């Protein structure tokens, strides 16, 4: 919670939810805010051949491997994988595993997974072994669309022979489990038109559930925070601030404790400004001694074709230095090159 005040001071009071609404004509594509667009003049056969040479050289050419895979989008990488296997008779993932090591191996293999497979992998890793990685569970479920989550559930069952819902029930407990299952199974409203009366009503309900007499009503928070659209919640938060001396996140921080507190505050942050939410996580990953490489890889790979341009912008606004600068200071070698390439131009 160390960045709590910085996040909301810099973001929540200075952001108009309407700024996040992209209005496009029917059938027009929304503006691309990723950093890895489709590579022009793409040729899967040529890329597969160059990769095979780079892998099979006496001295493995990691620069070539990085240059090709980072500059192709995920759809193009899947085509390269298919052509590589049909032309060489070898599995590209296995071939790369045999020649790459450490963090550069992890990030390159992450880039080769289709998005739903990568998310399923993240959720499995977060729930495997002793305890669970609560931050990752919330991050994935709070920032993917209902359609994306349905695909993740399908892939999770195929890959791990278990239902994601059952794994979550086994590995978590109490209100935290209820919140995760709500995000997993509830179809959040996608309407970008704000219902002002509903926002006022929800703000009053949330105020009474959190700051009224007696224990906080967690189920009320879960219900509203997991069903309303981002723009709708943003307006609700504004109304909440008008009837309370506290912002909603601050009220949650005071009323709740443990996993459910962190979970609901993260949902609020995502609803208000998803790129700022990820910028904060990236900063945490590189703050202090050591680097949380799993977090760096997870976020940069998963947002590279979604909104990483916005994440980079928010990072500079929130921390008064660039994401590129911090990556240069915290990483090195080919691993650093991959991360910087994913971030786009400085």
Nearest to 190 by CA among 155, 221, 148: 148
pLDDT, averaged across the chain:
91
Give yes or no for residue 2 having a pLDDT over 70: no
Does residue 328 or residue 16 have the better pLDDT? 328
What whole-number distance in Å separates Cα of residue 314 and Cα of residue 272? 13
Number of H helices, E strands in the chain: 20, 0
CA 308, 152, 68, 106 torsion-angle sign: positive
pLDDT band at 211 (very low <50, low <70, confident <90, very high): confident
What whole-number distance in Å separates Cα of residue 149 and Cα of residue 160? 16
What whole-number distance in Å separates Cα of residue 316 and Cα of residue 310? 10
Nearest to 54 by CA among 100, 107, 106, 113: 100
Q: Residue 125: helix, strand or coil by DSSP?
A: helix
- 11-44 pLDDT tens trace: 544 444 444 444 444 556 789 999 999 999 999 9
CB-based contact 78:70 (threshold 8 Å): no
Q: What is the pLDDT of residue 24?
A: 45
Does residue 4 or residue 277 have the better pLDDT? 277
Q: Residue 327: helix, strand or coil by DSSP?
A: helix
% of residues, the chain, pLDDT over 90: 82
DSSP secondary structure string for all residues of 276-310: HHHHHHHHHHHSSSS--HHHHHHHHHHHTTTTHHH
Strands (E), 60-123: none
- For 222-232, give one letter per residue: b (16+ CB within 10 A) or e: bbbbbebbbbb
pLDDT band at 346 (very low <50, low <70, confident <90, very high): confident
- 258-272 pLDDT tens trace: 999 999 999 999 999
Give yes or no for residue 315 having a pLDDT over 80: yes
- 221-251 pLDDT tens trace: 999 999 999 999 999 999 999 999 888 888 8
What whole-number distance in Å separates Cα of residue 301 and Cα of residue 108? 9
From residue 342, how far is each of 63, 100, 256, 302 by CA, in Å?
A: 15, 18, 37, 10
Pairs from 264-268 (Cβ < 8 Å, separation ≥ 24): 264/179, 264/218, 264/221, 264/222, 264/225, 265/1, 265/4, 266/135, 266/138, 266/139, 266/142, 267/138, 267/142, 267/179, 267/183, 267/225, 267/226, 268/225, 268/233, 268/237
Strands (E), 195-264: none
- Domains in the chain and their CATH numbers? 44-100 (1.10.220.10), 274-343 (1.10.220.10)
Map tokens 């700024």 to a residue. Answer: 19
Alpha carbon 235 to its chain centroid, in Å, reads 23
Q: What is the pLDDT of residue 253?
A: 85
Nearest to 44 by CA among 69, 62, 14, 22: 69
Please give the model's pTM, rounded to 2 decimal places: 0.91
Residue 328 phi, psi dihedral angles, 5° rounding: -60, -40
Give yes or no for residue 197 having a pLDDT over 80: yes
- 73-97 pLDDT tens trace: 999 999 999 999 999 999 999 999 9
HSE (side-chain half, CA atoms, 13 Å) at 65: 28
- 133-173 pLDDT tens trace: 999 999 999 999 999 999 999 999 999 999 999 999 999 99
């Amino acid at each position: 919670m160390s960045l709590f005040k910085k996040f909301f001071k810099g973001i929540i009071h200075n952001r108009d939810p309407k700024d996040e609404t992209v209005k496009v004509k029917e059938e027009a594509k929304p503006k691309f805010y990723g950093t890895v667009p489709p590579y022009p003049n793409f040729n899967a056969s040529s890329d597969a051949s160059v990769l095979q040479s780079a892998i099979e050289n006496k001295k493995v050419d990691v620069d070539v491997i990085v240059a090709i895979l980072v500059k192709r989008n995920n759809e193009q990488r899947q085509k390269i994988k298919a052509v590589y296997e049909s032309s060489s008779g070898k599995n590209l993932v296995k071939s790369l595993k045999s020649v790459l090591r450490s963090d550069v191996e992890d990030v390159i293999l992450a880039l080769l997974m289709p998005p739903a497979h990568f998310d399923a992998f993240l959720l499995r890793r977060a729930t495997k072994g002793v305890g669970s990685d609560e931050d990752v569970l919330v991050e994935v479920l709070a920032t993917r669309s209902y359609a994306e989550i349905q695909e993740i559930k399908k892939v999770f069952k195929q890959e791990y022979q278990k239902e994601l819902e059952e794994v979550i029930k086994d590995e978590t407990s109490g209100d935290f489990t209820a919140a995760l299952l709500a995000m997993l199974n509830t179809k959040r409203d996608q309407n970008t038109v704000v219902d002002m009366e509903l926002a006022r009503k929800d703000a009053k309900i949330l105020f009474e559930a959190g700051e009224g007499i007696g224990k906080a009503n967690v189920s009320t928070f879960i219900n509203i925070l997991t069903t309303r659209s981002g723009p709708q919640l943003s307006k609700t938060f504004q109304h909440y601030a008008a009837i309370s001396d506290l912002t909603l996140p601050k009220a949650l921080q005071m009323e709740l404790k443990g996993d459910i507190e962190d979970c609901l505050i993260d949902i609020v942050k995502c609803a208000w400004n998803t790129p700022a939410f990820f910028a904060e996580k990236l900063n945490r990953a590189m703050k202090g001694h050591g680097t949380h490489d799993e977090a760096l890889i997870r976020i940069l790979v998963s947002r590279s074709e979604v909104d990483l341009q916005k994440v980079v912008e928010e990072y500079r606004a929130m921390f008064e230095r660039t994401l590129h600068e911090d990556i240069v200071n915290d990483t090195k070698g080919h691993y650093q090159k991959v991360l910087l390439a994913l971030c786009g131009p400085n």
